[in-house]
Amino acid sequence: MSRSPAAERVSRFGTTVFSEFSALALKHGAVNLGQGFPDFDGPEAVKEAAQRAIRDGVNQYAMGMGAKDLRQAIAEHAARFYGQQVNPDTMVTVTSGATEAILDVILGLVDPGDEVVAFEPFYDSYDANITFVGAKARYVPLRPPDAQHATWWFDREEVRAAFGPRTRLLILNTPHNPTGKVFTREELEFLGGLCAEHDVKVLSDEVYEHIVFAPARHVRPSTVPVLADRTVTVSSMGKTFSLTGWKIGWVIAPPSLRDAVQRAHQFVTFATASPLQVATAAALRLPDSYFQELATQYLARREKLLRGLKEAGLPAHAPEGSYFILTNISHLGFPDDMAFCRHLVTQVGVAAIPPSVFYSPEHRHLGQGFARFAFCKTDGVLDEGVRRLREGLTKHR
Ligand SMILES: Cc1ncc(COP(=O)(O)O)c(C=O)c1O
């Protein structure tokens, strides 16, 4: 018998749930509220800046650490929104999306046999990347809002218990996909205290940093004093500028940490699309009104989908950030979230994502009572999705 050509480190990865549900959505003509990318386009001025850069001949390799002007724009943006002082030459690396940045951070900071603490549900590339380096993930589940907690929360003792002598990295994601949780300063101070105690570094994934709904406020973990020297901030332009296909991301970190990440980056992609870096610098310099308007528009979409889901018998906690809503489905009588989402896409004509795939096998059951809906969609699409849910779920209420 010939052995599988796939290396062990990838052999347990099947097709992602996104591909499966997008294919099902296409086959059944479903409204796709599953995949997390906007069905509208980014700002004209930013697209125009990319076209101009191509016409002007910015078409050869950029500097490995990122084009100088983009690094400068990233530093200006950090100062403008968070009062963070960033040296663009020693503290920034530009990557191919946050996805590459996450891999570079893990490659650069984590050794085989080390442990990485992260919250569940998690963004799926964390788990794969931890596997790639031969490290071990220690997951702590976020708990849904309840009588004592107005938002998703974590048990401090559970987090404390996940830290040990082999812990090297804590992965944070705020605003959080898929719960919509925005970590508070007080929570970050607690986590920072643990990291200081165990000499642990932090990867802070902030790709939804500008999609936050008042009264919640995005606190950049690296601006919390106890986290400042140990945090690598990861972000990207895809969600903020509705241009997810461009895949321009970055890390911001103290020089010694940035240096470790840069060492990995130089042999992962070396450099990132030059004309799109020029346009990303222009995007990051858009006036405050652009960023305010983005959050205002997402608030209206969030309200529309929340209202529609409620009318369809799918109660949900309003997310404080990101463009996802987790609805409770446990009262509908389906065996689990996978069965519910398959029914939804094939019989009701709406695609959602079963969040149990964002949990480790040990905690998978915690995700089985929920479904994830994305509201990064135009009004017509949200209205049609809601109409179908109202009609299609009547008999389950
Ligand atoms: C939490 C989180 N991190 C990272 C990414 C990847 O970002 P990028 O498209 O910039 O690679 C996503 C995209 O969905 C995400 O939701």
Best residue among 16, 74, 93, 99 to mutate for probing ligand 1, ranked by most atoms within 8 Å of CB: 99
pLDDT for the residue 367: 96
Q: 190-236, pLDDT tens digit by residue?
A: 999 999 999 999 999 999 999 999 999 999 999 999 999 999 999 99
Ligand 1 atom nearest 102 alpha carbon? 4
d(CA 139, CA 154): 11
Buried b (16+ CB within 10 A) or exposed e, 112-128: eebbbbbbbbbbebbbb
Query: Is residue 218 within 8 Å of residue 80, measured between CB atoms?
Result: no
Ligand 1 atom nearest 236 alpha carbon? 10
Query: Is residue 237 within 8 Å of residue 193, measured between CB atoms?
Result: no
Closest CA to 35 of 8, 56, 17: 17
pLDDT for the residue 397: 61
Q: What is the 1 CA–ligand 1 centroid distance (Å)?
A: 39
Ordered by start, the domain boundaries in the chain are: 8-42+289-396, 46-286
Q: Which of 32-41, 62-71, 171-180 has the lowest mean pLDDT?
A: 32-41
Q: 349-358, pLDDT tens digit by residue?
A: 999 999 999 9
Are β-strands 324-328 and 249-252 bridged in parallel, bridged antiparallel, or unpaired?
unpaired
Looking at the chain, the whole-number percentage of residues with pLDDT higher than 70 is 99
Q: Is 151 helix (H, G, I), strand (E, B) or coil?
A: coil
Q: 88-131, pLDDT tens digit by residue?
A: 999 999 999 999 999 999 999 999 999 999 999 999 999 999 99
How much is the mean pLDDT over the chain?
A: 96
Best residue among 123, 276, 326, 358 to mutate for probing ligand 1, ranked by most atoms within 8 Å of CB: 123
Best residue among 177, 268, 324 to mutate for probing ligand 1, ranked by most atoms within 8 Å of CB: 177
Best residue among 239, 250, 272, 324 to mutate for probing ligand 1, ranked by most atoms within 8 Å of CB: 239
The 3-class secondary structure across 54-100, one letter per residue, is HHCCCCCCCCCCCCHHHHHHHHHHHHHHHCCCCCCCCCEEEECHHHH
Q: What is the 98 CA–ligand 1 centroid distance (Å)?
A: 6
What number is the average pLDDT over the span 30-45? 95
The angle, 0 to 180 degrees and rounded to 10, between the axes of the packed helices 97-109 and 124-132 is: 40
What number is the average pLDDT over the span 40-64? 98
Structure tokens at 376: 């990064």
Q: What is the 234 CA–ligand 1 centroid distance (Å)?
A: 10
Question: Is the C-alpha dihedral spanning 317, 320, 325, 326 positive or negative?
Answer: negative
pLDDT for the residue 49: 98
Best residue among 203, 207, 211, 244 to mutate for probing ligand 1, ranked by most atoms within 8 Å of CB: 207
**In this structure, which topology does domain 46-286 adopt according to CATH?**
Aspartate Aminotransferase; domain 2 (3.40.640)
Backbone angles phi, psi at 60, to 5 degrees: -105, 175
Q: What is the 99 CA–ligand 1 centroid distance (Å)?
A: 6
Q: How far is CA 308 from CA 100, 103, 336, 337, 391, in A?
A: 36, 37, 22, 19, 11
Q: In the structure, which protein residues have their CB atom closer than 6 angstroms to any atom of ligand 1?
A: 36, 97-99, 123, 173, 177, 205, 207, 236, 238, 244, 247, 249
pLDDT for the residue 148: 96
55, pLDDT greater than 70: yes
d(CA 125, CA 138): 15
pLDDT for the residue 62: 97
Structure tokens at 199: 């000499």
pLDDT for the residue 18: 86
369, pLDDT greater than 90: yes
Model confidence at 3, in pLDDT bands (50, 70, 90)?
confident
Q: Tokens 């963004």 correspond to what residue?
A: 123
Ligand 1 atom nearest 100 alpha carbon? 11
pLDDT for the residue 16: 83
Query: Which CATH entry fits the domain spanning 8-42+289-396: 3.40.1260.10, 3.90.1150.10, 1.10.630.10, 1.10.10.60?
Result: 3.90.1150.10
Q: What is the 91 CA–ligand 1 centroid distance (Å)?
A: 21
Q: What is the 281 CA–ligand 1 centroid distance (Å)?
A: 19
What number is the average pLDDT over the span 265-283? 98
Model confidence at 4, in pLDDT bands (50, 70, 90)?
confident
Ligand 1 atom nearest 244 alpha carbon? 9
294, pLDDT greater than 80: yes
Q: Is 251 helix (H, G, I), strand (E, B) or coil?
A: strand
One DSSP character per residue, 13-36 reads --S-HHHHHHHHHHHTT-EE-SS-
pLDDT for the residue 216: 97
Model confidence at 395, in pLDDT bands (50, 70, 90)?
low
Query: Is residue 305 within 8 Å of residue 375, measured between CB atoms?
Result: yes
Q: What is the 118 CA–ligand 1 centroid distance (Å)?
A: 16
Q: What is the 331 CA–ligand 1 centroid distance (Å)?
A: 31
Q: 172-194, pLDDT tens digit by residue?
A: 999 999 999 999 999 999 999 99
What number is the average pLDDT over the span 50-79? 98
Q: What is the 236 CA–ligand 1 centroid distance (Å)?
A: 8
Q: Which residue has the higher pLDDT, 137 or 22?
A: 137
Query: Is residue 93 within 8 Å of residue 250, measured between CB atoms?
Result: yes
Closest CA to 70 of 42, 48, 46, 51: 46
1, pLDDT greater than 70: no
What number is the average pLDDT over the span 371-377? 98
Q: What is the 207 CA–ligand 1 centroid distance (Å)?
A: 6
